Amino acid sequence: TLMGIHGHHVELQDPLDAELLIEIRSNLQKKEKRLKDLMKSGNCIVKKLQKNRDHQLSHEMFLAQVELRLVSRVLNMARLTTDQLLWCHKKISKINIVGRKIYVETSFLLFPC
C-alpha cells in the first residue's frame, strides 16, 4: 500500500505498479500546473480582447480539465488495479501542452473498466 494524494492508503492490485502510480501522479501534477498557469495567463485584458480567436483554446482547456479531473478521481480510489492505472496513463498521455496550445486526443473510454 502507498499513501494517496490526500493522505489515505492506496492498495495496489500488483505491488509492481507502485512505480507506474508515482509516474502517473507526477505527470498529473505537472499537467495540472501547466493548465492552471495557462488559465491564469488568459485572464489579462489583452487576452480577453482576443476572445474569438481563443474559442478553440478554451474548448481544449475544458476537455483537458475534465480528463485530468477524471484521472485524479480514479487515483483517489482506495484500491487500484493495473488496468485502471494503465487507463490513467493513457488519459494523461493524450493531453499535450505545447507553449500556449493544448492538444487533447479524444478517447472513447470515458471511465476505466
* pLDDT tens, position by position, 14-35: 989 999 999 999 999 999 999 9
Average pLDDT score over residue span 82-107: 91
* Domain presence at residue 37: yes
Q: Which residues constitute the domain of residue 70?
A: 2-104
88 against 111, higher pLDDT? 88
Q: What is the pTM of this model?
A: 0.79
Q: pLDDT for 35-67, tens place per residue?
A: 998 888 765 555 555 555 556 668 888 899 999
* Domain presence at residue 72: yes
* Domain presence at residue 110: no
Mean of pLDDT over the chain: 83
**Number of neighbouring beta carbons within 10 Å of residue 92:** 20
- The pLDDT of residue 86 is above 70: yes
* Domain presence at residue 109: no
- For the chain, strand residue ranges (E) read 2-3, 9-12, 79-80, 95-98, 101-104
Q: How many domains does the chain have?
A: 1
